Amino acid sequence: MMSENRLRRTMLYVPGNNAGMIRDAAIYQSDSIMFDLEDSVSYREKDAARLLVYYSLRTLDFEGIETVVRINGLDTPYGREDIKAMVKARPFAIRLPKTETAQDVLDVETLIAAEEQKNGIPIGTTRMMAAIESPLGVLNAYAIATSSKRLIGIAIGAEDYVTSMKTSRSPDGVELMFARGMLVTAARAAGIGAFDTVYSDLNNEEGLRKEVELIKQLGFDGKSIISPRQIAIVHDVFNPTPKQIANAKMVLQAIEEAKAKGSGVIALNGKMIDKPIVDRAMHTLDLAIASGLIEDARTAMEVSNAR
């Protein structure tokens, strides 16, 4: 699976100025919680939101859920102060908004490293994500994805992107196909995660499901979400089905049988099993184990042995 071997099917946005939502964020059991200091916070509340998120991360129990903070850009008066506070607050990762070049990542990384050193935190502790939200960022996706070892993933932000492209969001998402393809390809080439944009129509569950099915098919690892109501649908689409799990187990069983016979030829139901099929089977079982769909420790051992 992706870096840190964590599920990141859902990354729940929580406005950094909403104390109630911050307090309850862990209740909904998204894979990650993203506290937002950027677009969801008005200019007059930036400092207060930063302080609230800082103390929340230092004092609240988020039950082992991964924590991410979206900071303001360095082109604003708030970005550097966000970095100073958040490095000390120790979220798992800091998410950069509106990333257009590899240098954008390196500039933030330099500031993060300086704060880690200043506060006695091991260099490299604070991980990073980069949100790509413009045509230039899309064209530079691979350079961005490979710019820092701190990066756990890159994400697409659709609203700014489609506005820059002089178009708008549509139900089938045709206007995002190129950008999504560039992003997920860059992430896979770099060996990091790929995360899709939010789906803003909270009352259209069928539309959400179709979009999640699309981005899963494209190869994304997960999706940013703006409401706890979206979590169950996204998890349901990304989780392997019982049939997929059973097929994956049969692939690994065929491998073990071939090993026992000393055969270099592996077949299942009359069809040859090659490396891509094995890799997909292992990935399916990794997801099933991480999602809690497989509880038998022997299955985990089978996956480990097959590697």
Task: Domain ranges for the chain, please list them.
Answer: 3-238, 242-306
pLDDT confidence band for 257 (50 / 70 / 90): confident
> What is the pTM assigned to this prediction?
0.85
The predicted structure's pLDDT at residue 54: 98
As a whole number, mean pLDDT of residues 48-54 equals 98
As a whole number, mean pLDDT of residues 14-23 equals 97
The predicted structure's pLDDT at residue 275: 75
Does residue 34 carry a pLDDT above 60? yes
Relative to beta strand 271-272, strand 66-70 is unpaired
As a whole number, mean pLDDT of residues 12-28 equals 96
Does residue 297 carry a pLDDT above 50? no
**Residues 96-115 pLDDT 10s:** 999 999 999 999 999 999 99
Please give the Cα distance from 213 to 61 (Å, whole number): 32
As a whole number, mean pLDDT of residues 13-26 equals 96
The predicted structure's pLDDT at residue 301: 44
pLDDT confidence band for 1 (50 / 70 / 90): very low
Burial of 205 (0-12, 13-18, 19+ CB in 10 A): middle
Report which of residues 286 and 160 the model is more confident about.
160
Please give the Cα distance from 126 to 99 (Å, whole number): 18
Identify the weakest region by mean pLDDT among 65-74, 165-174, 259-268: 259-268
Instruction: Domain 3-238: give its CATH superfamily.
Output: Phosphoenolpyruvate-binding domains (3.20.20.60)
Burial of 18 (0-12, 13-18, 19+ CB in 10 A): middle
pLDDT confidence band for 3 (50 / 70 / 90): very low
Q: 246: which residues sit within 8 A by CB, 6+ positions away?
A: none
Q: Tokens 């004092």 map to which residue?
A: 59
As a whole number, mean pLDDT of residues 285-307 equals 63
Does residue 56 carry a pLDDT above 50? yes
Residue type, 234: V
Please give the Cα distance from 180 to 178 (Å, whole number): 6
pLDDT confidence band for 278 (50 / 70 / 90): confident
Q: What percentage of the chain has pLDDT greater than the value 70?
A: 90
Does residue 32 carry a pLDDT above 50? yes
Per the prediction, the chain carries an average pLDDT of: 90
